[in-house]
Amino acid sequence: MGILDRIGDKSHSGGAVGALVRIVLRFLQFILAITVAGLYGVDLHGASKNNGGADGRWVFAEVVAVLSIITVIVYAMPFIKSYWGFAWDWMLFILWTALFGLFGSIYIPAKPKGPQKDGQTRMKHAVWVDLINMLLWLVTAIYSTLIWFRGRKNRSTHTGRAKV
């Protein structure tokens, strides 16, 4: 039962429309996490080329992006219902919020100029991608939480007698 097989599953998740919305949200989370990994990875690569140490803030950005990528891949696996991991969605939302706050405080007020203008401009754009990621994880965390707790009051599928 893959992600596309679950499109018609109306028991917990809103049927075909709900499944399509979740697929689009998860796809956007995946693509934007890859984008963030690339944007911050450029600076990490530059630092390692110049024999400089990796800045912990950029490493944090890469870790958050990789955790998001892995999460979306796991949620796309057959027999995995993403609402089971609603708490993990909240954790990723918190991590993206921290990432946006960290880099937003540095780059939103910055006025790119000088020899590092291109890098600063790229990082200003990365901050807004962080914000979009944060909002996407907030939406999926809220949705997953609602589905999880709504499903807890249902009856079992086979007999309808047991409370789930």
Predicted TM-score of the model (pTM):
0.80
* Residue-averaged pLDDT of the chain: 83
Q: What is the spatial distance between Cα 66 and Cα 137, in angstroms, rounded to a whole number?
A: 14
For the cut 60, the answer to whether the pLDDT of residue 1 exceeds it is: no
User: Looking at residue 54, what is its pLDDT?
Assistant: 77
**Is 162 inside a domain boundary?**
no
DSSP 164: -
Burial of residue 133, with CB atoms counted within 10 A of its CB: 0-12 exposed, 13-18 middle, 19 or more buried? buried
Number of domains in the chain: 1
**Is 163 inside a domain boundary?**
no
**Is 66 inside a domain boundary?**
yes
For the cut 70, the answer to whether the pLDDT of residue 156 exceeds it is: no
User: Looking at residue 160, what is its pLDDT?
Assistant: 59
Residue 157 one-letter amino acid: T
Tokens standing for 129? 């991608």
**Is 156 inside a domain boundary?**
no
For residue 12, the enclosing domain spans 5-151
Rounded percentage of the chain residues whose pLDDT exceeds 90: 43
**Is 116 inside a domain boundary?**
yes
**Is 73 inside a domain boundary?**
yes
- Higher-pLDDT residue of 54, 159: 54
